[in-house]
């Protein structure tokens, strides 16, 4: 059991070693070695390019994520609690779930112009149905005994939401958050690639035109690292806090 502690670091080292081996063996411009990528990464940070574009993308991520989660929770809870509402909107949900992300992005740009709010809207439209479906499932599984208790003791709507409903939805909220982060940032890159003049997607597009694989890899690593930091320093502690009452 003791050695399990080192397995994650070991796997990372082996991954880097494999990358190094393949890169040195192939001697190709399209696969730079880890060292080359590290140097490019450092230069991009020092020049301020990487922090700027990464920052723009993260800003879009935070805004569109917040909007999708708030809206998705409200709609998801409403659909989960009200059968008629759900019967009516279920088809809409299926349609929006299955429209390809690229189609919504293109249509949004065509209809509303190449502006920032359109970019956010396109991301929200792509993420929203996922949140709604997840939260709706969670709401359907709410404990009716506890809901009755809240009703019997005259809990107000906000009190019921905060103390009875949201704690039960917590695992579903965390699920929607994790899958949301992964989904949203991928969509944001496409949005940026198609219609923005900054951000990760825009930069990646430039690097693609110049066949600058080292920069592409450097930017990717930066992004993966940021998401990992969010997981470690925000989501994991949230999980821990929310589950402190369990035996």
Partner 1 sequence: MTDVQITIDNKTYAGATQPTIKNFQLSLTSNEFVCLVGSSGCGKTTLLNCLSGLDTHYEGDIQVGEQHTTPKIGYIFQNPRLLPWRTVRENIELVLAPNQSPAVIDALLDFMQLTKVQHEYPERLSVGMNRRVAIIRAFAVNPDLLLMDEPFVSLDPPTARDVRSLLLQLWQQRPHTVLFVTHDLREAITLADRLIFLASTPMRVISDIVVPIPRTQRHDETAIESFRQQLLNNYPDIKRLL
Q: Which residues bind partner 1 (CB under 8 A)?
A: 145-146, 148-149, 151-155, 159, 163-164, 167, 242, 244-247
**First-last CA distance in the chain:** 24
3-state helix, strand, coil in the chain (%, to 5): 85, 0, 15
Q: How far is the CB of 246 from partner 1 (least distance, A)?
A: 7
Closest CB to partner 1 among residues 96, 155: 155
Q: How far is the CB of 245 from partner 1 (least distance, A)?
A: 4
Closest CB to partner 1 among residues 116, 148: 148
Q: How far is the CB of 73 from partner 1 (least distance, A)?
A: 18
Closest CB to partner 1 among residues 95, 149: 149
Q: Which one-letter DSSP state was computed for residue 31?
A: S
Q: How far is the CB of 247 from partner 1 (least distance, A)?
A: 5
Q: Is 38 exposed, middle or buried (0-12, 13-18, 19+ CB in 10 A)?
A: middle
Q: How far is the CB of 148 from partner 1 (least distance, A)?
A: 5
CB 135 within 8 A of CB 77: yes
- Contact residues for 95 (Cβ-Cβ < 8 A; gap 6+): none
Q: How far is the CB of 144 from partner 1 (least distance, A)?
A: 10
* Residue 154: strand, helix, or coil: coil
Closest CB to partner 1 among residues 164, 174: 164
Q: How far apart are CA 198 and CA 51, in angstroms?
A: 11
Q: How far apart are CA 95 and CA 89, in angstroms?
A: 10
Closest CB to partner 1 among residues 83, 151: 151
Q: How far apart are CA 219 and CA 54, in angstroms?
A: 8
CB 76 within 8 A of CB 192: no
Q: How far is the CB of 159 from partner 1 (least distance, A)?
A: 7
Closest CB to partner 1 among residues 116, 143: 143
Closest CB to partner 1 among residues 157, 246: 246
Q: How far apart are CA 149 and CA 155, in angstroms?
A: 9
């Amino acid at each position: 059991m003791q050695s399990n502690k080192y397995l994650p670091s070991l796997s990372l080292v082996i991954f880097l070693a494999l990358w190094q081996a393949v890169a040195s063996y192939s001697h190709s411009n399209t696969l730079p070695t880890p060292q080359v990528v590290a140097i490019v990464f450092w230069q991009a940070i020092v020049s301020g390019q990487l922090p700027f574009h990464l920052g723009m993308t993260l800003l879009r991520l935070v805004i569109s994520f917040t909007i999708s989660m708030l809206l998705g929770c409200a709609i998801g809870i409403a659909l989960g609690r009200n059968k008629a509402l759900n019967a009516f909107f279920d088809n809409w949900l299926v349609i929006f779930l299955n429209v390809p992300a690229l189609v919504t992005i293109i249509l949004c740009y065509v209809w509303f112009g190449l502006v920032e709010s359109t970019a956010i809207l396109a991301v929200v439209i792509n993420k929203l149905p996922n949140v709604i479906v997840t939260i709706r499932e969670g709401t359907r599984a709410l404990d009716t005994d506890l809901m009755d208790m809240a009703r019997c003791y005259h809990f107000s709507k906000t009190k019921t939401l905060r103390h009875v409903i949201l704690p039960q939805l917590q695992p579903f909220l965390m699920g929607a958050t994790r899958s949301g982060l992964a989904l949203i940032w991928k969509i944001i890159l496409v949005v940026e690639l198609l219609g923005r003049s900054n951000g990760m997607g825009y930069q990646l597009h430039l690097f693609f035109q110049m066949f600058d694989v080292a920069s592409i890899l450097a930017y990717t690593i930066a992004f993966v690292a940021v998401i990992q930091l969010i997981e470690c320093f925000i989501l994991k502690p949230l999980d821990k806090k929310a589950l402190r009452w369990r035996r």
